[in-house]
Structure 1
Amino acid sequence: MTTTDTASRLGRQLRDALSYPFETGRRVAAVAVVTVLTYVLLVLSTFPGMSMQMLGAGVHWFDETLVLLTQNTYATNGATGLGMIVLYALLTGIAVVHTAGQIRTTGVSSGSDLFGVLPGMVASGCASCGAGLLGFLGFAGALAALPFHGDLLRVGGIVLLLGFLARAGDPRECSL
């Protein structure tokens, strides 16, 4: 198999994987819920101290906290950084729905595909500026040393998620 054939096959599988979640209303709703939850988690984790303090004062501060931290993310990383966070959240929603479809179709035997998505989710935990999810895990010092405000890590997480989806293809079809 030539490189062109492989690239063509991966492109086709990526297209199939990206279109699968949008074929039914139930899957679209699941993608939307996971995407919003991922975005909220990423944005709130940009400044965990403020998030905990504001939300500790009352849940009625949730919307203001989300807006302030979104504005802070935009001010810190610009439209490109915020766009990568949104893209990462969307790809996470697609990957979760895709993985659920894979489990439903093939059962738990495809555990290697399940674990293939985890590095992208963990590595891009700091897809927003600041401490991010890796900061929650105790890696805030390492994140401070990253160049380009963590953009390379964001791109790496997006590439890992796209790689998982390209490798997996449509979960209803056997890739062998």
Structure 2
Amino acid sequence: MTGQARVRRWGSDLVDALTYPTTSVPRIVGGVVVAVLTYVLLILSTFPGMSMQMLGAGLKWFDDTLVLLTENVLATNGWFGLALILSYAVLTGVAVVNAAAQVSLTGVSGLSDLTGVLPGLVASGCASCGAGLLGFLGFAGALAAMPFHGDLLRVGGILLLVGFLARAGDPRTCRIDA
């Protein structure tokens, strides 16, 4: 297979993977729920101290906390940083729906393809949540020392997720490379 044919096939598989969650209402709902939960988790973990204080005072502060922390991400990382977090959340929703379909179709033995999603989830998740998760791991200053507020790490995590999706393609199809 030539390089141009591989790129074309990779692009086709990526489109198939990205469109698979839109093929039924339960998949759409599942993908949206995972994307929203991912976004909420990432935004709340950008400033874990504030999140715990506000939510500790009651769930009535949940919406205020979410809005304030979204504005904080926008103020510190700009539209590009917020777009990266949104992209990560949407891609996570797509990846989880595709991974669930792949497991249900191929069983647990098909998990070798699913391991490709883990580095993307960890790398991009750590960068998106900021010092919250890194602080728990003992690397509180690591994100602050990164150029572009960790946006390069976010882009790397997103690329890993895109690579997983392109490699996996539509989970309903099985292909054997010659």
TM-score, normalization by structure 2: 0.95
The residue type paired with residue 119 of structure 2 is P
CA RMSD in angstroms, aligned pairs only:
1.2
How far did residue 127 of structure 1 move? 4.0
Q: Which moved more, 1:89-98 or 1:119-128?
A: 119-128
How far did residue 115 of structure 1 move? 1.4
Preserved CA contact (<8 Å) 1:17 1:169: yes
Gaps of 5+ in 1: none
Corresponding residue of 1:47:
47
* Per-residue deviation, residues 115-168 of structure 1 (Å, max 9, x unmatched): 110110000113436314334333222222111110100100110000000000
Question: C-alpha distance in 2, partners of 1:85/1:35?
Answer: 10
Structure 2 residue 31 is matched with structure 1 residue 31: yes
* Per-residue deviation, residues 43-100 of structure 1 (Å, max 9, x unmatched): 0010011111111111111110000000000001111110110010000000000000
Identity of aligned residues (%): 70
Corresponding residue of 1:87:
87
Residue correspondence of structure 1 range 16-165 to structure 2 within 5 A: 16-128=16-128, 130-165=130-165
Corresponding residue of 1:11:
11
Question: C-alpha distance in 2, partners of 1:11/1:116?
Answer: 17
Preserved CA contact (<8 Å) 1:129 1:150: no
The residue type paired with residue 144 of structure 1 is A
User: How many equivalent residue pairs?
Assistant: 176
Gaps of 5+ in 2: none
- Where 1:120 maps in the other structure, the secondary structure is helix
